[in-house]
Structure 1
Amino acid sequence: MKRILITGAAGFLGSHLCDRFIGEGFYVIGMDNFITGDKKNLEHLQEHPNFEFIEHDVTEFITIEGDLDYILHFASPASPIDYLKIPIQTLKVGSLGTHNLLGLAKAKKARILIASTSEVYGDPLVHPQREDYYGNVNTIGPRGVYDEAKRFQESITMAYHRFHGLETRIVRIFNTYGPRMRLNDGRVIPAFMGQALRGEDLTVFGDGSQTRSFCYVDDQVEGIYRLLFSDYIEPVNIGNPHEITIKDFAEEIIKLTGTSQKIIYKDLPVNDPLQRQPDISLAKKLLNWQPKIEREEGMRLTYDYFKSLSQDELYKSEHKNFKNHIKK
């Protein structure tokens, strides 16, 4: 049985990856320190014979007993609210954490896939964004802690590949959504749905003309799975190229939820990208991959999940362990 380590396993995307690899017959070792992850996301796997969990901070030295065939590095704050509150931890998980996991992969002779992000493109001057675009990033702006952590992550991964011959893969993830997202984490979909479910007006930053492209989690996981087993070592965009303005998306949410809220407007945050749309030509060619789930279906599934949450979860703004890490 092949063994795979998944960091950030208790997070939104990490937990879905655990499910997928267990379903494919792997022995999965999940790792998380619960800064932003949630134990609830892994409850259904607690008794599974092919799953074990290690509570650990990947910025500290990592030891795994036995063989290891693959590593997926998905540990990182991913929402603006999170990485603006814990900027140093965000930088550390992208640098020290990635260094530790690359070293582990080298020691175990394992293939490692690194989760990068569309944020490496910053506020792009090229549209849609292709993998050969170098980006437009403010290194010292408030969002730079996340953007630069991911850009460094890509650089050190390629250095390990070139210098040590390590088997590496890099996925650039565009906006992904679905069940197990944390409400009120600052990302567009959980923010809008949380406001709708609480009967609040929907907050749009700027004039709402900025765009995003949303990929349902099952499609994202499929793209990541195919990339891991491909022979391609450079970054690959995985996302949905169907672009929509934030204003139009807010109106879709109001229609979906059947609520009567109105849209209110606030100032656009510093360096917030005005356009975000992946060029997925490379993924189509290399992986024979493209998203299959339409936004209407994916949003309905996501809304059904959010409706099932308790009142405490509906109003909770951050994970209970989050504050313990603020001053570290």
Structure 2
Amino acid sequence: MVDTKSKEGISFQDSLTSGEPLTHFFYEWQGERAVEPLLLIENGVTLWHEHIYTDEAYDNSYLWDLAKEIVEDHGDTPMYSWAEWVRYQITTGAFIPAQWDSRKAYPYKGLLISAIYFQEARRLCAQGNPERAWHLIALAYYHLGLNTGLSTRQNTSRAAKVMHAARTEKVRALVLGALDKVRRDGSARSMESAKDQVVELMREKHDQIKHWLNEFDTLVPEKTKGRTVAKQKNDVFVRIRNMLDNWSLPSGPYPDIAEAFSHFSKRKRTPPHAEAFNPRATSENVPIDESDFYLRLINFWDDGTVLTVKVSRNEDA
């Protein structure tokens, strides 16, 4: 067990900076030793996927299989080796994934390069050429590191979630209360009907809850209030009804509300207008460790033993 309190009594978690990887690998527990390149590759693949799984702002999982296609299709190059020619094109912006439709510069070059280099290094090891794989491994880790810190996009996304949660706290309490009544009444036969009845109950109780509704309405920026017709903005109840479409999804931002709505989905169907929830995954099928930890230390011993230490928030408390 790791000592999670410093001498000053400060939480061990407070000593970590935001955006650090969750997992760290150690190879010389029992002193100096050589480390096989294939082990470094597989650990790098794990770190790559861990970053993909924990990125709250953008789903880059497709880059792994894109890199696989690139590695499997070696072509002639006008200069450099094949691997360095691909890195040159990505670095200079000559190659951008088709999935990136923004006019802005592509910000995930490091993730794509590292995915290509890890897979190419593994291919070389399988062919019995580990000597040439070493510099590819080093560059793969380097480029992965370029994309592992919290980006501006991630920080912006996280801040927006926190702001939205604070803005809707009282409205969510009203929704849960209304859902409980709708469920006890037994009159809603579908999720869509439940959403409509929740809003109708709130309309009926407008005089009692208008303070909360006015507070929510004031916090919503004017530009996000939408319009039903050219000169008429959506009223607060229409906005709440629109939000319920997202809140009721299994992948929605508030699990307690999604669970409350699930009672009305007799066939456990997703509304036809909603996107299905697809967890991030690649053809590599790297497992997701869903246990509660904010730091994982994995130690490799000479005899093949692997010692894993996880530090959770409960232990830190």
Larger-gyration structure (1/2):
2
**TM bucket by the smaller chain?**
under 0.3
TM-score by length of 2: 0.26
More helix by percentage = 2
Structure number with the bigger relative contact order (C-alpha 8 A, sep ≥ 6) is 2
More strand by percentage = 1
